[in-house]
A and B are shown apart, each in its own frame.
Chain A
């Protein structure tokens, strides 16, 4: 369980993160989306006990950040932005070293190293020096390193970057099993598709969290949805535009390639009324489909909006 209240970090005159408040429950994957320089890495470093916050507090599994940072680091696994491996050592020795730093010894250490080399599909390369590994192989070893000591809290920065689709799916599936095992997981990513597939809730960040919700609710809450209405018959779709303009729940309508696109705020509530009004006006409808707002649209709208609204604070953060 992660609970942050008003966390902030300043580096001299530069405010990297301010007023960061959120909770991540046991068995939850929380995604942090944000552009470069949004403060994602700084936030993870604060929460994992690597650097001290300038303001605010946080409790990780009941332990207070600052006073118990060493104990917090012991129960935390972190996949850093860069794999940061020791090139001259083999994959096994790399993991063995970190296992010892996390308190594993003897047979437990050997078992954990073998297990997680297997989880990331690197058992065959275990005794090769990582200096000769590809980017993807290094990422897999870094993931194994983060998981080695079975951490209760896990921070993953771009976990599937540099991985092929198959390996990425393996890692996503494994992270999902960790959630099912009750771990609290924070994923920082630019991969919106991955965030949507993997995360229970998403926070969009730019210096602070601008919005936190489930991916579905974020899509619904931000912006209007477009409903695609396909018609047949003699009447031109454009002849219904005046009618649509009179409907109170319609925010806009247009015709593209003979298809009617109607913007409404709540497709589930508004679509039945929309269909009824069109049919009563003589429309022959063959299909009605919601054109979903993508998370990418929500993200870009939100980050762009803040870019204009709060340019000064964003300039400070960046």
Chain B
């Protein structure tokens, strides 16, 4: 594995992405929207008095924050509960970039000249994977930091502490990059079978269903957020899925298959 080749692919892909404003918008806007909704609710709670009757309805949730006032506990529940949606960004965005990248190459028939160079297929794929995953990881981390500090500023610094808890710091540093990688690999695999980016993204979009399922299940079970054990299990499951995707990707993306089926 030669870093020079991978770096060349990353630079080329970055130039490509930066010239595609629509795709660039798709990286940033979903992250901002996922962060803006709970932040808006926190601000609404902050400037409005809570009805004790309403607080009674969500008492089971608030009991998870015994050290906080009811109002702050409600805000804490909101910010933590929406955090599961932060995992949607790494699940969706890299796939959009990866499918666009691979299908763009298929349409332009630009895979053959690249494979005619001394670069190995694995170097091309790793370069593409890193280039597709990095914007989503950076966007997620950036919005995560913004989310923590803005909510702390709107309501109380205690919210910042809740958001930047050990569990979520670990999730951001491990689960987010892993989900990004899985998303990219699935994007590449799906792209190898279809010829337009929209279809690829629609098929690949099924990846978000488990993430949404986890978030909704958390809400209905009354659990505000993940615990460390769940994050670790999540890491393990995603890592296993990456292993499966790598085997499939390696099988689909040998040089000859690319040239005769995709090129």
Q: Which residues of A contact B (CB under 8 A)?
A: 11, 45, 48, 50-52, 70-71, 73-74, 76, 78, 80, 82-89, 93, 97-98, 100-103, 129, 142, 145
Contact = CB atoms under 8 A, between A and B. Distances in A.
* B interface SS class: helix
Contacts of A82: 109, 112
A17 B110 CA distance: 24
A73 B8 CA distance: 17
Given A80-B109, A86-B110, A50 B116 contact: yes
B16 A89 contact: yes
B12 A45 contact: no
B111 A84 contact: yes
Given A98-B117, A101-B8, A129-B19, A50 B255 contact: yes
A228 B45 CA distance: 103
A93 B109 contact: no
B108 A93 contact: no
A52 B113 CA distance: 16
Contacts of B54: none
A11 B113 CA distance: 21
The 7 closest A-B pairs by CB, nearest first: A101-B117, A84-B110, A100-B8, A82-B109, A88-B19, A74-B118, A84-B109
A50 B121 CA distance: 11
A132 to B, nearest CB: 12
Contacts of A100: 4-5, 8
A80 B112 contact: yes
Nearest to B113: A84
Contact of A80 (B12, B19, B113, B260): B113
A250 to B, nearest CB: 52
Given A74-B118, A80-B109, A103-B118, 11 more contacts: A48-B116, A76-B116, A80-B112, A83-B109, A84-B111, A84-B112, A86-B16, A86-B110, A88-B20, A101-B8, A101-B118
Interface size range on B against A: 20 to 34
A97 B109 CA distance: 16
Contacts of A103: 118
A89 B20 CA distance: 11
Interface in B61-116: 108-116
Given A101-B117, A101-B119, A93 B112 contact: no
A80 B114 CA distance: 11
Contacts of B15: 88-89, 93
A83 B19 CA distance: 21
Nearest to A130: B108
B120 interface: yes
B256 interface: yes
Nearest to A48: B116
B146 interface: no
A101 B121 CA distance: 12
A142 B108 CA distance: 13
B8 to A, nearest CB: 4
Interface string B114-132: 1111111000000000000
Nearest to B7: A100
B259 A102 contact: no
Nearest to B117: A101
25 contacts: A11-B260, A48-B116, A51-B259, A52-B256, A71-B118, A78-B113, A80-B109, A80-B112, A80-B113, A83-B109, A84-B108, A84-B110, A85-B110, A86-B108, A88-B16, A93-B12, A97-B8, A97-B11, A98-B113, A100-B4, A101-B114, A101-B117, A102-B117, A129-B19, A142-B113
Nearest to A11: B260
